[in-house]
Chains A and B, each alone.
Chain A
């Protein structure tokens, strides 16, 4: 039997009673704020997804069970959004993380000079926010004057002019390119910090034993940054599953276009929630996104836990 709160209070020492009082004081403001703006709306989403409601009429409609879910999911934009989100999650998990780790190791674990210059070079994209970076890439990707096509032209390929954002077959990869460009800088800087904290004597010992640079990377650097890598990959997974700040600036007006090719769940939800006439479908998509993110992140963390080396 658990002790009832009051009994626990009576049985508690003066120290723990004082701690409870302080805890109440410290926790209350944050809990109220999060209650209003996080927990209450999150619970509302779950409730709302089972009802029929446009979000405008004063009364909420009838309970319809999973009907809203089937209406929200049984269409082309949704299947595009799921496909893109999953692909984007995979890209997020591996691409910026691996480039960031390799770049950090190449700069920190070699006698490359001057290090501050190279560190700056890999960090540069992070001076811009993701949204601003994406807005800038509408110009970088421009078919006529954009940087990329100008470089292609300058290299002599005068008749190659990809419509990076206008061509539905490549727009999603162009968008992921902006994401990788920006987020690699984050991964790079965190891995740099982690590598700098590795005990140098490990490297010296490996050198004495005649290990090659690649072996040092494989058997010392990678295992040493394992926990940080889990942290970075988790962040990239979450950001990769919800890259709204990339898609919104790149494809506005015509969010998610051309022809749903860059649609992701957040853009669908944004359109339904902000236009404000399809509250229950926005909620149903919200629940799906929630399950998707929590499911994938937990599965990833479980996998990392399971494959962790035993000490």
Chain B
């Protein structure tokens, strides 16, 4: 009995010790976001004397994070809608339709996954320039959609593959067209897969740094993740608290996902992982 209690304490001690490095920096940032720059410079481990909520007000209005959040919502919203539609269509085609070139298409999608954007970054910027999309949110939306699309497509493919083919055949016997089978039988059944893809696409584009950093030059078009990284080199009057408050604001979508959809998110992730 004593030994089991001892191992129990040891287990708590071990897991807590493992968790501290992950929790502590986040906690520090959270605490400091309610503090003052003077306090942080003097003793950053101390609690602030009161909650300086004005840091958030300043980040939102003075540091223009309302604009950056709006930009991020516009970019991520568009990317999410585009990827939701395109990945469902493409995923269904490669999973369930029999057409010449299907294996080649699948191979192309796989190759696109392992090809880092960096490897074709320079020609990509030239394509964007030639299309007249330089310094535009549209450029970020289109390039993010195109480069991220392969992963959700494979995820959708694996979802469609788990659905029994008999359902489609039953629809065909009832006189449904191929389009009808896709639109009214298969796509509705893949709802949870589509939801997973939508969440992934939103978080991915919300968090992305590279494409906004490459394609956006005017600060009033920055997305929130990019804007936060540009807050850093502030010279000698460093405004720590604004950046901390902005970082906490940037966690918004992830918190929503965590609270509302964690179970589904996990389920979707595993199916994709096992079969993708």
Report which A residues bind B (CB closer than 8 A).
5, 8, 15-16, 18-27, 29-31, 33-34, 36-42, 44-45, 48, 55, 99, 102-103, 106-107, 110-112, 118, 121-132, 134-140, 144-147, 150-151, 154, 181, 184-185, 189-190, 192-194, 196-197, 227-228, 231-232, 238, 241-242, 244-245, 248-249, 252-253, 265-266, 269-270, 272-274, 276, 279, 282-283, 286-287, 289-290, 293-294, 297
Query: What are 25 A-B interface contacts by the 8 Å CB criterion?
Result: A16-B99, A22-B97, A26-B182, A27-B105, A30-B149, A30-B153, A31-B90, A37-B127, A41-B126, A124-B23, A128-B26, A131-B209, A139-B244, A140-B29, A147-B45, A190-B270, A228-B270, A244-B118, A244-B209, A248-B213, A249-B232, A273-B121, A286-B119, A293-B114, A293-B116
- Measured between alpha carbons, how far is A14 from B167 in the docked complex, in Å? 19
User: Is B1's CB within 8 Å of the partner chain A?
Assistant: no
Chain B residues positioned under 8 Å from A135 (CB to CB): 228-229, 231-232, 243, 247
- Asked if residues B97 and A150 are in contact (CB atoms below 8 Å), the reply is no
Give the complex CA separation of A197 and B100 in angstroms. Answer: 37
Contact A137 to B25, CB < 8 A, known contacts A30-B90, A37-B146, A276-B125: yes
8 residue pairs, one from A and one from B, having the closest CB atoms: A129-B207, A37-B146, A44-B123, A41-B123, A131-B209, A286-B119, A273-B122, A23-B99
- Distance A95 CA – B255 CA, assembled complex (angstroms): 26
Query: Which of the residues B19, B116, B179 comes within 8 Å of A121, measured between beta carbons?
Result: B19
Given contacts A227-B274, A274-B214, contact A297 B114 (CB under 8 A): yes
**Contact residues in A for B142 (Cβ distance below 8 Å):** 33, 37
B36 close to A (CB within 8 Å) = no
Using known A-B contacts A5-B100, A248-B209, determine if residue A197 contacts B270 with beta carbons closer than 8 Å: yes
CB distance from B232 to the nearest CB of A (A): 6
Interface hits, B219-261 → A, CB 8 Å: 225-226, 228-229, 231-233, 240, 243-244, 247, 250-251, 254-255, 258
| Complex contact A245–B149 (CB within 8 A) | no
Indicate if the CB atoms of B124 and A37 lie closer than 8 Å: yes
Q: How far is the CB of A293 from chain B (nearest CB, A)?
A: 6
List the A side residues contacting B118 at CB < 8 Å.
242, 244, 265-266, 269-270, 286, 289
Nearest B-chain residue to A234, judged by Cβ: B114
Give Cα distance in the complex from A106 to B7, angstroms: 12
Is B73 an interface residue when CB atoms closer than 8 A count as contact?
no
B6 in contact (CB, < 8 A)? no
Chain A's closest residue to B177 (CB) is A18
Consensus secondary structure, chain A interface: helix
In whole angstroms, what is the CA distance A1 to B146 when docked? 36
Which of A15, A41, A294 gathers the greatest number of chain B CB atoms within 10 Å?
A41
B44 at the interface (CB under 8 A from A): yes
Interface contact A286-B120, CB-CB below 8 Å: yes
Nearest chain-B residue to A140 (Cβ)?
B25
Provide the bound-state CA to CA distance between A145 and B244, in Å. 14
Which secondary structure dominates where chain B touches chain A? helix
- Least Cβ distance of A104 to chain B in Å? 11
By a CB distance below 8 angstroms, the chain A residues around B125 are 273-274, 276
Which of B21, B98, B120 has the most CB atoms of chain A within a 10 A radius of its CB?
A: B120
- Min Cβ gap B124→A in Å is 4
Q: Any chain A CB within 8 A of the CB of B89? A: yes
Q: Mark B143-161, 1 if CB is under 8 A from A, else 0.
A: 1011101100100000000
* Complex-state Cα separation, A24 to B179, whole angstroms: 12
- Cβ of B41 under 8 Å from chain A: yes
Counting chain B CB atoms within 10 Å of each CB, the highest count among A39, A99, A124 belongs to A124
Q: With a CB–CB cut-off of 8 A, which chain B residues contact A37? A: 124, 127, 142-143, 146-147
In the complex, the answer to whether A290 meets B116 with C-beta atoms within 8 Å is: yes
CA distance A181 to B29 in the complex (A): 14
- Contact assessment for B255 and A131 in the assembled complex, using a CB-CB cutoff below 8 Å: no
A252 touches B233 (CB 8 A): yes
A146: chain B residues at CB < 8 Å are: 44
Q: What's the Cα separation between A61 and B114 when bound, in Å?
A: 30
Are B93 and A26 neighbours in the complex by a CB distance under 8 Å? Answer: yes
Contact digits for B14-36, partner A, Cβ 8 Å, 1 yes 0 no: 11001101111110110010000
